[in-house]
Each structure stands twice: as C-alpha cells, then as structure tokens.
Structure 1
Amino acid sequence: MSQLHPRNKQSEVSMAEKIAPGNSQHTNPYRSDGKLYGFVCVVTGATQPVGKAMVAELAGIPRRSLHLRVLKFGFRPLRCPRSSIASQFPNTKVIPYPYHPTSEEATLGLIDDVLNAWGRLDVWTSSTGLLGSPSITSTGPTELLAAFETNAVPAFFALKYAPAAMIKTTTQRGNYPNATPKDVPYGSIVVVSSVAATYGGCWGLSFTMSSHAALGVVRAGVAVLKGTGVRINAVTAGQIDVGVDLEAAGLEELGKGQFPPVARQNVETQKRVVGLERAGRPEEVGRVVGFLASGFSSYVTGAEIRVDGGASVMNPLTVPV
C-alpha cells in the first residue's frame, strides 16, 4: 500500500496542473511565444467615464501580450465609444449591446447571445452607480430600493448567471480572428464600486448602504464559486474626476451620477486628506480592472482593491496644532 502513495500523489499533482487555469497554454499571460488569446468580455456601464476607461483598457490588453479579442458591452442610452476604440485597437472587436443591467431577463439574454455568437465567456465587469440624495430626509423607500437595484443587483446577476457560461469549454476555434480553444473552465467577474462600500460619509445613506451590498456580493461570491475556476473581485474607487461639477448640475442630476463629484473637495482639501494629494482619473480605475480581468491575477479572488490615492488610510479628522 505504501508503494502506491507516491504514484497517487504524482497523479494528483498532474491533475492539478492540468486543470489550473494559469497552466493552460491558452490562458497563461507569461507565454514565451507572445501569442494573444481570444477572451470574450462583457463590460457594463460603458457610457460612464469609468466604464469607457474600462473598455479602453481591456481593448488594449493584447498590445501588452495578454488575452482579449472580443469585447461586448452594455450601455444605456444608445451611445458608445466603439469607433474610437476600434480605430485605436484594430485587433479587438468591440460590439455595442443595448443592455439593462438591472434586468434579470436582459442579463440572461445577453449571456445567451454571447454564447451563441462566440461560444465562450471569460470576463464580466459590473460597473453601475447611482448616487441618490446626500440627505436622509429626502431619501424614502423608493429611492433606497432604486439605489440597491442599480448598485448591487447587477453584481448579483453577474455572480448568479455568468459563471455557468464561463465554465463552458470548447475545443474548436471561434468564428473571430485570433480565437483560441478554451480547454479549462475559468472566468473573472470584476465589480466596480465605491469606497462607500467600506465606510460611511462619502455621500448619502442609500449610496453607502447599496455600495456595501455590492461588496457583499463579492465576499459571498467566493464560496458560491468554489470549484468552478471563476474568480470574483471588487474595485472600490475614491474621489475620481469624472467631469461632474457641483455648479454645473443640480442635486437631482448629481444623484444620477456614479461617483461623488470631485468638486466636493477643493485642491487644498485633496492635498490634506488624500495620500497622493489629488483626485483619481477614470483610466486609473480601468487599469486595476484590467489586472483583475487578466491572468496576472490568477490567484486573486474575493479581494477588494481600493483605488483612492490612500485617502481611506488617512485620518482627515486629525488637525495638526
């Protein structure tokens, strides 16, 4: 019996090496031959500044010898950055898709369309946001539910339905340029939220509560996804300059935004409370999403990566005397 142990152990190691996504010749980002791989990605919220940055980042990944070839994204209303992306990254096929991320039926329809067209799904990014009112006195049940529906429900739908498509494998090349087989089940879900998911005071009650719920989807998702080869992570952003100005819009318009306006903090305040002394840029969020979508983060799941310039570890209430 003892003579069988080394053989069994070797067999187990070999099996682990076979099924580990990082060891697949089609997914390892460190391949020496520099070949590109045919990932299919879905990006939601692509008309928001951060969503646009995510599209650009994912579309540009092949130029850095990672793996992406087909990029679908949901948007509302009907406008998208497809033409500029297509001209900038001709090797990436960008397909606009009229998708409502808070609809369960629309989510299932999008996944069906992706599988019917491409036969695989590899990355799903959920980037939706509704600030709502900054005041509790003007926040009722309807406004509260709307915040949860926009900020947390799309992440829940991604966790519930995307993995079943991500674990599908295919031995045939897809019907698009540079497609590759998918020989192991794997996938990456990235939920983009706010630092309001970890503490209060960023905006109003509904925004904070619903952002916490979005992060809860990620943390609960690790156990849900055990054994699937699918990872789920969160990017929580701090003060990001998305071009919204307090003076240029009324409270109602501001409440429909994805992140609080940077104008809430003047330059002097940013220098005092932000470690890097400035607001962030949408592309700085997009780069972290690109990392979590790629094979470079193959052992990262359930993580919350904070993109806030170090503000959350500062203490803005401390005043030097």
Structure 2
Amino acid sequence: MNRFEGKTVVVTGSARGQGAAEIRRFHLEGANVAVSDLITDAGKTLAESLGERAIFIRHDVSSESSWRELFGKVEQTFGGCDVLVNNAGVYQPATIAETDTELMEKMFRVNQLGVLLGMKYAVEPLKRRGGGSIVNISSVVGLRGSAATVAYGSTKWAVRGMTKVAANEFAQHRIRVNSVHPGYVSTDMLKANSDASNDAGTLATPLKRQGSPEEIAALVAFLASDESTFITGAEIAIDGGWTL
C-alpha cells in the first residue's frame, strides 16, 4: 500500500522510539521522509538505513529559526511538504511540590511551544501543496489527570487544546489537524518511571499490555492519509483502554 507516494512527511523527534516507527511506516508507504531530531547520530543512521527518499535534519523544535531552516531544506530536497507529525517530546515525572520553574520551562519549550511553532511554520508549505495534515502527539495524561505529571501533563492538555484551535483556523486551507493520545507504550520514555509505576499502569490497562511504537505509527499514518479526510480537531486515545 502506497498511500503516501509522491508526498513528503516531516516527523519531529524521530531519531528513535515512536518517532522512528512513524518515519519507517511513512517511508514504507511511499513517502519522502525528513527525520527531525537533535540526536544526530541515531537520526543520520535511520535516514541512511532507509536509503532513497529519506533525509536527516538536525532540528530544535523550540527555535523559530530552526523551523524555518527545516522547511527550507525539505522544500529544497523534496519540493514541498504534505504532512507534519509533531512527535518530539520530553517527560520527567514530578509531583506539584517537586516541580520547579526549570522543569516547567523544559516541558513547555519542547512539548508545547514546539508544537505551536510546528503548526505555525507548516501552514504555508502545506497551503502551497493545496492542503495537508498535521498530527500532534499528545498523551493519555492530556485526557485524564494523573498524579506526578503536572509539568508534562499540562503541556499535553495544551497540545489537545491547540489542536482544536488549529483545526478551526486551518480548515479553510484544507489542512486537517488532529491529536493522538498514546498510553503506556514500550519506548525509552517509560524508563523515567519506576518499574512499579509502569507495572501498575500496564495492569490498569484493560488489554493488560503496553502498546508498541508500530501501533501508534499505524494510527498516525491513517490520520495523515486521505482515508481520514473528514476527521479534523479529533482527539484519539490509543491506550489499550486506560482512559475508559
């Protein structure tokens, strides 16, 4: 299935983990892909492993100039952009009492500001292609309050809200914007939790397991594809039932 043949997809935070799975899925389905990350070695290795139709761009999602440079390189290499996946994110659990200004700003700059800037700078490239799709990766803690996630969770609630604002603003340009809310997914991000916390979260999931990065990538690809052309402003949990 080549749903993305002739199209170009940018995925932020895609040198490894869930973002890398998304890059591989889009490339498998025929897309030109831009691996965006600050992790240079792994990002270059991924792009090189895919061969043709893949480039790596070192990219800081919290920097406006970095976003302008990214879309400039994508346009120069592939002629334009059709899909942006705002996947980059950082996570550090902390209670309200433990949360300081430094942690709050760290979460904000990557998880929230990075998504805002991505949407801001994607508009013109997508408009030049006659429309497109933006998929913002939020979290289940952007759907339901969870202890010890005030900094991280607040940014993910913000992504949920910003997605709806963007869906409203960008519809006139035939640009769809949706948010994806993964639950416990088997990536390095979970290493920030204790084993007991991850075990409890997995047991609280009705399907009694963690999700795989490939399962998230499949949903992201669907939302980015022409199979979902009447879906915008949606918030979709992919969490094994954790938010039931």
- TM-score normalised by the chain length of structure 2: 0.90
Question: How much has 1:243 moved relative to structure 2?
Answer: 4.1
Query: Mapping of 1:210-221 within 5 angstroms?
Result: 210-221=155-166
Q: Which residue of the partner structure matches residue 36 of structure 2?
A: 74
Deviations 1:172-195 (A, max 9, x none): xxxxxxxxxxxxx01111111211
Q: Which residue of the partner structure matches residue 24 of structure 2?
A: 56
Question: How much has 1:141 moved relative to structure 2?
Answer: 2.0
Matched position secondary structure for 2:243: helix
Matched, 1:147 2:115: no
Matched, 1:290 2:221: yes
Greater C-alpha radius of gyration: 1
Matched position secondary structure for 1:191: strand
- Residues 236 and 135 of structure 1: is their aligned pair in 2 closer, same or farther, counting only changes over 3 Å? same
Distance 1:262 1:61 in 2: 36
Q: Which residue of the partner structure matches residue 160 of structure 1?
A: 120
Decide whether the 8 Å contact of 1:244 with 1:261 is kept in 2.
Answer: no
Distance 1:72 1:265 in 2: 32
Q: Which residue of the partner structure matches residue 191 of structure 1?
A: 136
Q: Which residue of the partner structure matches residue 230 of structure 2?
A: 299
Question: How much has 1:266 moved relative to structure 2?
Answer: 2.2
Decide whether the 8 Å contact of 1:80 with 1:96 is kept in 2.
Answer: no
- Residues 106 and 86 of structure 1: is their aligned pair in 2 closer, same or farther, counting only changes over 3 Å? closer
Q: Which runs of 5 or more structure 2 residues have no equivalent in the other structure?
A: none
Question: How much has 1:84 moved relative to structure 2?
Answer: 5.8
Kindly report structure 1 stretches of 4+ aligned residues shifted beyond 3 Å: 81-87, 243-246, 260-263
Question: How much has 1:80 moved relative to structure 2?
Answer: 2.8
Question: How much has 1:303 moved relative to structure 2?
Answer: 0.9
Query: Mapping of 1:227-238 within 5 angstroms?
Result: 227-238=172-183
Matched position secondary structure for 1:306: strand
Question: How much has 1:229 moved relative to structure 2?
Answer: 0.8
- Residues 204 and 245 of structure 1: is their aligned pair in 2 closer, same or farther, counting only changes over 3 Å? closer
The farther-off stretch of 124-133 and 279-288 is 124-133
> How many percent of aligned residue pairs carry the same amino acid?
24
Number of matched pairs: 244
Matched position secondary structure for 1:95: strand
Distance 2:213 2:3 in 1: 29
Q: Which residue of the partner structure matches residue 270 of structure 1?
A: 202
Q: Which runs of 5 or more structure 1 residues have no equivalent in the other structure?
A: 1-28, 63-67, 170-184, 247-253, 255-259, 314-321
Distance 2:189 2:90 in 1: 14
- Residues 223 and 261 of structure 1: is their aligned pair in 2 closer, same or farther, counting only changes over 3 Å? farther
Matched, 1:279 2:210: yes
Distance 1:36 1:305 in 2: 22
Distance 1:290 1:82 in 2: 22
Query: Mapping of 1:70-219 within 5 angstroms?
Result: 70-80=32-42, 93-169=53-129, 185-201=130-146, 203-219=148-164
Decide whether the 8 Å contact of 2:16 with 2:42 is kept in 1.
Answer: no
Matched position secondary structure for 1:233: strand
1:207 aligned partner, one-letter code: Y
Decide whether the 8 Å contact of 2:16 with 2:43 is kept in 1.
Answer: no
User: Which residue, 213, 216, 226 being the options, matches 2:171?
Assistant: 226
- Which one has a larger percent helix, Structure 1 or Structure 2? 2
Question: How much has 1:289 moved relative to structure 2?
Answer: 0.8
Matched position secondary structure for 1:226: helix
Distance 2:16 2:218 in 1: 16
Distance 1:35 1:106 in 2: 29
Question: How much has 1:100 moved relative to structure 2?
Answer: 0.7
Question: How much has 1:142 moved relative to structure 2?
Answer: 2.4
Cα RMSD, aligned residues only? 2.3
1:42 aligned partner, one-letter code: V
